[in-house]
A and B are shown apart, each in its own frame.
Chain A
Amino acid sequence: MTDVIPPSEENIEQPELAADAIKLSAQIDEEDLIIETRGLNKRYGKLHAVKDLNLQVPRGAIYGFVGPNGAGKTSTMRILTTLMRPSGGEAFIDGYSVIHNPRDVRRSIGYMPDFFGVYEDMKVWEYLDFFAACYEIPESQRHGLINDLLELVDLSHRRDDMVDKLSRGMKQRLCLARTLAHDPSVLILDEPASGLDPRARVEIRELLIELAKMGKTIFFSSHILADVSEICTHIGIIEAGEMVMQGPIKELRRQLNPHKIIVISLLDKVEEAKTAILQLPDVEAVTDLAPEDGKKRLRVEFKGEDAGVSQLLAALTTKGIPIVNFAEETSDLEQVFMKVTKGIVS
């Protein structure tokens, strides 16, 4: 038994996923919106859960809808899936109004709720057969369809097992297969990775990329930005019912991150290093960090380009400052998230 050690998130990371997302985003027409809301509002009595939301999801996007607990993600999704009436505003899927053409909307979407059950006394294939029938797929086509779907979510070997005997991750994949039964153009997935172990999460992510390559638009929610950033082409951040920002992920990164953060570890001459750094152009601030392994550390906020970074290094070495490490901190979206949502959440 070699695989008893649970794989950590790092050692099963799949860098090609991000590459796929970049490839996908190149093909997206930002003007061709498949999900669009205009001034969407939802009130539960006094609670204003969704406030003037203008969601814009272009066709073919993998759109990560991110926000902390209670931000209004599920409420928005329930409105988009025709399960709930908005208190104000409009929402369209593929051009159909969720209020006036719910049937057309249902035909266009596949929905996976945050919490869902499976029927206890059913086999895996019967489960898919049932939903395929509910989507009015003729009996003659269902057999082949079910096999294809099971293949896609890698459950072919469990075809004749009872649904309630499946693991959580398998149920999640089965439910995903179910959402695909009628070949919808949009998938609306509420926290598809919640409650899954790291490997199952990666599997779901791979599946989403796979589906996006098949031409489906994927709109999914999460409160873990790291999960989202890797595979998304677009991101919307919602906070207390309001859209804080949304757009293509590259743009958001650029907007939010004009600074470079450089961490320098040195053996000595801290004050000397500080004054030297502050004399250089484009340096915003220098702060002390807690020493690590007896080495002193400095954190430099720098708004220049790469050339400036190398100048900075050169300046320090010519002054004979004993540098042991010089690293630009890669700012991940999690920090962006914290920065953006800071103060709004109480």
Chain B
Amino acid sequence: MATRLNRLYNPLYILIRNPVALKELRGRMRGPRAFMVMTGYLLIVGFFTTFIYLAATSDSLSNTGEIDGGEVGRILFSSVVAIELFLVVFITPAFTASAISGEHEHQTYDLLRTTLLPESSLVWGKLFSALAYIILLLLAAIPMQSIAFLFGGVDLPEIYISFVILMCTAVFLGSLGIYFSSTTRSTLRANILTYITAMAVALISALIIVVLVGINNSYTATTNTSVVTRAGEWILLIPRGLFICLNPLATLLVTRDFLINQQSVFTIEYAFQDGTSVTLLSPWLVFSFIYLTMAGIILWRTVHILKRIQE
């Protein structure tokens, strides 16, 4: 009975119930490769953390003659998260773009397809196993993130939220990788397509955000205050907010600013020029919703593609 309950609530057990997830994890954790990826990842994060630490502390010293602990802590934390984000964007496609095309290339796909394994289990298993490893990488970097705590200026919610944003990015990119892996027979092409799409989403949204912020700034900066209306601000706010919530880095930065200034985790107060304000969902919530929804749609499409039988 105890073991049954244990099984019901143990996510690892659910993972292992999926034969594909178990197989992938076994394969990934075996041999020196998993160890090398982990070491490389920690070295990169560690190198940049040290570098930023040195830069931030010398900067604070030269300006005021005294270290502003909170500021250093915040810079350190944000930098580590940004590096992690970069690595997640880099690693996730590499882990998932071979999901289906790799089975074709190894001539194992037909063997799988003639078993009773549902297409959805294949897709979930591939995604879960990739995410499990990424979670491991993120957890391994926590000691470096927590260096920031020594300086203060960083609260626990920031850690949770950054973890959620990183994971949602990984889920989205992982789904994208599996999707492209199912549309092409070549792992290389699936990799390239995933990177191109990921870069396009990141760069185009960043560009649009910059433009929209610029427009908003010039709009609200006009001396003629009668021109600035609430309606006008709303019209500029909605697309700006949406594009911020399409970009993980922008979401991280904006959420962080609101956290620091308003100490509120789930909602933000947006102040208009006329002195009124409105309560909105915090960007990280909207971001997570959008990314998980997109991932869901992509995975659904992937399962659909895999169910097709060769004509």
Q: Is B30 an interface residue, CB under 8 A from the partner?
A: yes
Report the Cα distance A178→B106, complex, angstroms. 17
Question: Which residues of chain A have C-beta atoms less than 8 A from B110's C-beta?
Answer: 78, 81, 83, 111, 113, 116
Closest B residue to A44 by beta carbon equals B311
Contact, CB under 8 Å: A84 / B22: no
Question: Which residues of chain B have C-beta atoms less than 8 A from A118's C-beta?
Answer: 108
Question: Which residues of chain B have C-beta atoms less than 8 A from A143's C-beta?
Answer: none
Q: Pick the interface stretch among A52-60, A129-137, A198-206, A234-242.
A: A129-137
Question: Would you give the 0/1 interface string for A151-194, flagging 1 where the beta carbon is closer than 8 Å to chain B?
Answer: 00000000000000000000000010010001000000000000
Given the known interface contacts A83-B310, A85-B310, A116-B107, the answer about A121 and B112 at a Cβ–Cβ threshold of 8 Å is no
Q: Is B214 an interface residue, CB under 8 A from the partner?
A: no
Question: Which residues of chain B have C-beta atoms less than 8 A from A85's C-beta?
Answer: 309-311
Closest B residue to A175 by beta carbon equals B111
Question: Would you give the 0/1 interface string for A76-104, flagging 1 where the beta carbon is closer than 8 Å to chain B?
Answer: 00100111110000000000000000110
Contact, CB under 8 Å: A135 / B309: no
Question: Which residues of chain B have C-beta atoms less than 8 A from A126's C-beta?
Answer: 23, 26
Given the known interface contacts A107-B116, A119-B23, A122-B23, the answer about A131 and B310 at a Cβ–Cβ threshold of 8 Å is no
Selected contact of A122 from candidates B26, B111, B117, CB within 8 Å: B26
Q: Is B27 an interface residue, CB under 8 A from the partner?
A: yes
Contact, CB under 8 Å: A121 / B26: yes
Closest A residue to B106 by beta carbon equals A117
Question: Which residues of chain A have C-beta atoms less than 8 A from B26's C-beta?
Answer: 121-122, 126
Contact, CB under 8 Å: B117 / A134: yes
Within 8 A of A (CB), among B18-53: 19-20, 22-23, 26-27, 30-31
Within 8 A of A (CB), among B84-137: 106-108, 110-117
Question: Which residues of chain B have C-beta atoms less than 8 A from A134's C-beta?
Answer: 19-20, 112, 115-117
Report the Cα distance A120→B20, complex, angstroms. 15
CB distance from A342 to the nearest CB of B (A): 33
Selected contact of B115 from candidates A117, A122, A131, A175, CB within 8 Å: A131
Closest B residue to A110 by beta carbon equals B114
Question: Which residues of chain B have C-beta atoms less than 8 A from A109's C-beta?
Answer: 114
Report the Cα distance A118→B109, complex, angstroms. 10
CB distance from A33 to the nearest CB of B (A): 21
Selected contact of B114 from candidates A81, A117, A119, A121, CB within 8 Å: A81
CB distance from A167 to the nearest CB of B (A): 18
Question: Which residues of chain B have C-beta atoms less than 8 A from A113's C-beta?
Answer: 107, 110-111
Closest B residue to A87 by beta carbon equals B311
Question: Which residues of chain B have C-beta atoms less than 8 A from A119's C-beta?
Answer: 23, 27, 106, 108
Interface size class of A (residues with CB under 8 A): 20 to 34
Q: Is A223 an interface residue, CB under 8 A from the partner?
A: no
Contact, CB under 8 Å: A103 / B107: no
CB distance from B102 to the nearest CB of A (A): 10
Question: Which residues of chain B have C-beta atoms less than 8 A from A130's C-beta?
Answer: 19, 22-23
Question: Which residues of chain B have C-beta atoms less than 8 A from A83's C-beta?
Answer: 110, 113-114, 309-310
Report the Cα distance A81→B310, complex, angstroms. 12
Question: Which residues of chain B have C-beta atoms less than 8 A from A297's C-beta?
Answer: none
Given the known interface contacts A85-B309, A122-B26, A131-B115, the answer about A116 and B108 at a Cβ–Cβ threshold of 8 Å is yes
Report the Cα distance A126→B23, complex, angstroms. 8
Question: Which residues of chain B have C-beta atoms less than 8 A from A121's C-beta?
Answer: 26-27, 30-31
CB distance from B186 to the nearest CB of A (A): 16
Closest B residue to A178 by beta carbon equals B111
Report the Cα distance A292→B309, complex, angstroms. 59
Q: Is A216 an interface residue, CB under 8 A from the partner?
A: no
Question: Which residues of chain A have C-beta atoms less than 8 A from B108's C-beta?
Answer: 116-119
Most central of B22, B31, B110, B311 by chain A CB within 10 Å: B110
Closest A residue to B121 by beta carbon equals A134
CB distance from A101 to the nearest CB of B (A): 13
Contact, CB under 8 Å: B309 / A122: no
Question: Would you give the 0/1 interface string for A2-16, flagging 1 where the beta carbon is closer than 8 Å to chain B?
Answer: 000000000000000
CB distance from B166 to the nearest CB of A (A): 27
CB distance from B22 to the nearest CB of A (A): 7
Question: Which residues of chain B have C-beta atoms less than 8 A from A84's C-beta?
Answer: 309-311
CB distance from A194 to the nearest CB of B (A): 14
Report the Cα distance A335→B257, complex, angstroms. 85
> Chain A: residues with CB nearer than 8 A to chain B?
78, 81-85, 102-103, 106-107, 109, 111, 113, 115-122, 126, 130-131, 133-136, 175, 178, 182
> Chain B: residues with CB nearer than 8 A to chain A?
19-20, 22-23, 26-27, 30-31, 106-108, 110-117, 309-311
Q: List 19 A-B contacts (CB under 8 A).
A: A78-B110, A81-B110, A81-B114, A82-B309, A83-B310, A84-B311, A85-B309, A85-B311, A103-B116, A106-B115, A111-B114, A121-B26, A121-B27, A121-B30, A122-B23, A130-B22, A130-B23, A134-B117, A135-B116
Apart from A102-B309, A118-B108, A133-B22, what 7 extra A-B contacts exist at CB < 8 Å?
A111-B110, A117-B106, A117-B108, A121-B31, A131-B115, A134-B19, A134-B112
Across the A-B interface, give the 10 residue pairs with the lowest CB-CB distance, nearest first. A133-B19, A117-B107, A134-B115, A121-B27, A117-B106, A134-B117, A84-B310, A111-B114, A130-B23, A117-B108
